[in-house]
Amino acid sequence: MSASHQPIRKQLMRMVLLTSGAVLLLSTASLFIYDFLTFRQSNRNQLEILGKAIAANSTAALAFENAADAAAVLTAFDADPHIVAAALYDRDGDLFATYPARLAASTFPQRTPAIGGYGFGGGFLSGIQSVVEGGRRLGTLYVRADMGAIDARLRLYGGIVTLVIAAAGLLAYVISRQMQRRITEPVLELARTAAAISTRRDYSVRAAPTDAHELNQLTEAFNHMLAEIQQSEARLHMQLGHLSLLQHITRAIGDRHDLASIFRVVLQNVETTLPIDFGCICQYDADSAELTVTTVGATSARHAGPLGLAEGTRLPAAGNGLEDCVAGRLIHEPDTLAVPFPMTQCLAAAGLRSVVMAPLNAENSCHGVLIAARSSSQAFSSADCEFLKQLSEHVALASRQAQLNSALQQAYDDLRQSQQTVMQQERLRALGQMASGIAHDINNAISPVSLYTESLLEREPNLSERARGYLTTIQRAIDDVAGTVARMREFYRQREQQLTLTRVDLNRLAQQALELTHARWSALPQQRGVMIELQSALHSAPVEVMAAEGEIRDALTNLIFNAVDAMPDGGVLTLRTGSEGHRSWIEVGDSGIGMDEATRRRCLEPFFTTKGERGSGLGLAMVYGTVQRHSAELEIDSEAGRGTRMRLVFAPANSSVAIAGLPSAFPVTVRRLRILLVDDDPMLIRSLEDVLSTDGHQVVAANGGQAGIDAFAAAVRQRKPFDVVITDLGMPHVDGRRVAAAIKAGAPATPVIMLTGWGQRMIAENDVPPHVNRVLSKPPRMPELRAVLAEFCGRNADTETVITDQVRA
């Protein structure tokens, strides 16, 4: 164990003993040496004095060569027992006399020793003294003393020194043993305190004060240091707590992406852990310079009402001392009573005496304010403020991120919506183009049917009632086909420009639809051995809406087809109408397979079908188009396995408008006309020729555009010009436009009527080609054609024919 590891008591004792021992040793040794040296010197001096005296006495003996007398003189050395030998030499250096007598002369140097003076050597003190009388040297005295005196002196001194050191050491030990307690006790007390602190980490322990001034200073300094450490530890602990809370909150808000949730979790943590008595977060609107209380902490809610800080409350930043805060500075009011603003006064009145308002700053702008309040005044330390400042920065960042995230999500949704819209439009456009082509061909194809049916109904007097009924149904079906074909092209249109709304009765349309689809929902299932029960629950009174009759009927037909298809194993087909307040509706329901959510969402898309090869994917799309054109609503209520209900909801019709179809009947008086008919479709030429001839007109048909131009030119040359030209638009080689241009070039006054499968579209788009007086769509409707002929040629009629249009059912 080294000295530094021994107890301080032992060290101090050892130090005192060593110090006193060293001091004593040094002082006694110096005394001893001094005394030894002086004693030697005095011994030497004594010997010298003695030698000189004897020498002086022996001058005469030497001068007059009296050896006996010289020996007698030398006996004076008897006085000093330590003088062991002496001798006189004469002036020639020969031994003259010796002392003591018992010593043989041979023991002395036989000649005068060469070197004079007194000195120590060979264990003796010896001296060589000249014997001089009156300035003349008469001889030499040699004297020798042993060291006995010095040895005795040394022994004596050694004993004294040993005794003194021993006694002084003992005394020093006893005294220091008593005195050191006053020093070691406080030091040991300090050491014990320090040890207790280091083992227990309890910085509240204090060392007891002592009466020694410096040690008391030390103790006080130690205690002061302990107090500092205690405070520092407390501060550190609090900072750690804050950091931990901040981390906790940061992690919590990192998991959330909506502002409300972020604010709630922040307030909840701050309320419970910081803690605070009231906390809320306000969002700031820089334009209006107003704060809106967005979230109030869960336990703060009881304060929020009385404070006027309930969620949704708007606070002007100005006048509440919040201008600095929204400018980005943290505001700490240690005493709300002392601040005159309304909000702080409210806080004070609610018993919240101190408040911190931390701005939520992100990207150099303030998004809001975090308000934290406590009941007692001066309740927020600077560490609390710093924590709230950091927290508010985190919250601001998180809320900013949430906002950005939300905006991003919105943009993404918009983009997806746009993409879907564009896709839909693209589909509709493609569909429209295709539909136009189909419509053209269909219109051409059904034109003879329409013309002949109409002609039969008008002109055949002997028709049986049954034949008339069939013909009427055929005519209605043709009309619906024409209408359907006309609408096919309009899928992509937002509005049906030429849609003509009339007052229609939904009950009547429902019945017509059921009649039209009778085979589908009754005969065909029965052939497969499946029973579909019809439940018709029509409103008792007519349900009148403003609608395009054919379109609604078509839509209903489609819905009925779908309903039947949804019930492959049979079920109940429901048709209901109703009117309640400003809503009138017609509903087609089934008890079939229903639609799941994905199907329901996509069912209105064109070409989306669940029927495989059998389905066109256009049925519901057309229904939807119809609904949109009518500014009506389509309500779909479907559940997989439970069936589907499709409801068209209309605004009720204006009561003042009469229920309309085409003009019921109007007599058209037309003179016999010479008509040039130009078309490339022989069926159409023939049927139209038949019908117009039946009306009494003279019809010349030309197959193809060039043939038409040639026929018109030939007639002009023969001075039998045509009164009117009816031409198709789309023909190979020379189309209707060129025909019209050629005719107008030859005879500008001759009316040109264009009859085309594109007709409705051209009318809708106001795309009447030049040189054409009127565009009529295929299939041609006789009343329409007659009216146009009458308009252009009526005045010059030389043969009048009364034509009565049939009222359409």
Partner 1 sequence: MAVLKRRRKPAAMLAALLLGCVLGSVAAAPVPGEYQLKAIFLFNFTQFVEWPDDAFAGPQAPFVIGVLGEDPFGATLEEAVRGESVGTRTLVVERYRHLADLRPCQILFIDRSARPELAAPGRLLDRRGMLTVSDAANPPAADTIIGFINENRRIRLRINVESAREAGLTISSKLLRPAQIIGNPGGDP
* Residue with Cβ nearer partner 1 (63 or 154): 63
Query: Does 76 participate in binding partner 1 (rule CB under 8 A)?
Result: no
Cβ atoms of residues 315 and 326 within 8 Å:
no
Query: Does 354 participate in binding partner 1 (rule CB under 8 A)?
Result: no
Site for partner 1 in 23-62 (CB under 8 A): 56-57, 59-61
Angstrom distances, CA of residue 690 to CA of 451, 736, 783:
9, 22, 15
Closest alpha carbon to 62 in 95, 107, 101: 95
* Residue with Cβ nearer partner 1 (55 or 481): 55
What sign results for the dihedral spanned by CA atoms 394, 397, 402, 403? Answer: positive
Among 11, 25, 39, 65, binds partner 1 (CB under 8 A): 65
Minimum CB separation of residue 80 from partner 1 in Å reads: 21
Minimum CB separation of residue 153 from partner 1 in Å reads: 35
Q: Which stretch binds partner 1 (CB under 8 A): 64-72, 394-402, 429-437, 751-759?
A: 64-72
* Residue with Cβ nearer partner 1 (70 or 293): 70
Query: Does 91 participate in binding partner 1 (rule CB under 8 A)?
Result: yes
CA-CA distance, 721 to 685, in Å (whole number)? 20
* Residue with Cβ nearer partner 1 (130 or 694): 130
* Residue with Cβ nearer partner 1 (63 or 245): 63
* Residue with Cβ nearer partner 1 (136 or 518): 136
Minimum CB separation of residue 136 from partner 1 in Å reads: 6
Minimum CB separation of residue 135 from partner 1 in Å reads: 8
Among 15, 53, 63, 310, binds partner 1 (CB under 8 A): 63
Strand order in the sheet with 724-728: 698-703, 674-679, 724-728, 752-756, 774-777
* Residue with Cβ nearer partner 1 (91 or 686): 91
Closest alpha carbon to 762 in 744, 740, 790, 795: 740
What's the residue count for the chain? 809
Q: Which runs of E-coded beta strand occur in 54-183?
A: 83-90, 95-99, 117-121, 124-133, 136-146
Closest alpha carbon to 758 in 742, 737, 740: 737
Residue 152 phi, psi (nearest 5): -60, -45
The CB-side HSE value for 715 (13 A sphere, CA atoms) comes to 25
Minimum CB separation of residue 74 from partner 1 in Å reads: 13
Minimum CB separation of residue 45 from partner 1 in Å reads: 23
Reported as type and span, the H/E element at residue 587 is strand 583-590
Minimum CB separation of residue 79 from partner 1 in Å reads: 18
Query: Does 134 participate in binding partner 1 (rule CB under 8 A)?
Result: yes
269-285: buried (b, 16+ CB within 10 Å) or exposed (e) per residue? Answer: bbbeebebbbbbbbbbe
Among 137, 200, 601, 611, binds partner 1 (CB under 8 A): 137
Helix residue ranges per DSSP H, 255-300:
259-273
Query: Does 66 participate in binding partner 1 (rule CB under 8 A)?
Result: yes
Strand 365-374 versus strand 331-333 pairing type: unpaired
Among 1, 92, 199, 204, binds partner 1 (CB under 8 A): 92
What sign results for the dihedral spanned by CA atoms 656, 660, 665, 668? Answer: positive
The CB-side HSE value for 793 (13 A sphere, CA atoms) comes to 28
* Residue with Cβ nearer partner 1 (87 or 538): 87
Place of tokens 């499968």: 757
* Residue with Cβ nearer partner 1 (56 or 438): 56
Minimum CB separation of residue 121 from partner 1 in Å reads: 23
Minimum CB separation of residue 141 from partner 1 in Å reads: 14
CA-CA distance, 159 to 704, in Å (whole number)? 165
* Residue with Cβ nearer partner 1 (61 or 546): 61
* Residue with Cβ nearer partner 1 (56 or 572): 56
* Residue with Cβ nearer partner 1 (68 or 598): 68
Among 69, 441, 637, 791, binds partner 1 (CB under 8 A): 69
* DSSP one-letter string for 703-722: ESHHHHHHHHHHHHHTT---
CA-CA distance, 331 to 107, in Å (whole number)? 117
CA-CA distance, 384 to 275, in Å (whole number)? 10
CA-CA distance, 322 to 327, in Å (whole number)? 8
Query: Does 562 participate in binding partner 1 (rule CB under 8 A)?
Result: no
Among 35, 80, 133, 290, binds partner 1 (CB under 8 A): 133
Q: Which stretch binds partner 1 (CB under 8 A): 46-54, 63-71, 411-419, 642-650?
A: 63-71
Strand 643-650 versus strand 583-590 pairing type: antiparallel
CA-CA distance, 651 to 584, in Å (whole number)? 6
CA-CA distance, 648 to 654, in Å (whole number)? 18
Among 10, 111, 136, 235, binds partner 1 (CB under 8 A): 136
Minimum CB separation of residue 120 from partner 1 in Å reads: 24
Site for partner 1 in 619-648 (CB under 8 A): none
Total residues in contact with partner 1, by rule CB under 8 A: 17
Minimum CB separation of residue 54 from partner 1 in Å reads: 12
Q: Which stretch binds partner 1 (CB under 8 A): 132-140, 263-271, 311-319, 622-630?
A: 132-140
CA-CA distance, 376 to 793, in Å (whole number)? 102
Minimum CB separation of residue 162 from partner 1 in Å reads: 49
Cβ atoms of residues 556 and 586 within 8 Å:
yes
* Residue with Cβ nearer partner 1 (63 or 161): 63
Query: Does 113 participate in binding partner 1 (rule CB under 8 A)?
Result: no
Minimum CB separation of residue 100 from partner 1 in Å reads: 20
Minimum CB separation of residue 130 from partner 1 in Å reads: 8
Angstrom distances, CA of residue 352 to CA of 82, 269, 334, 343, 370:
110, 19, 10, 11, 15
Binding site for partner 1 (CB under 8 A): 56-57, 59-61, 63-66, 69, 91-92, 133-137
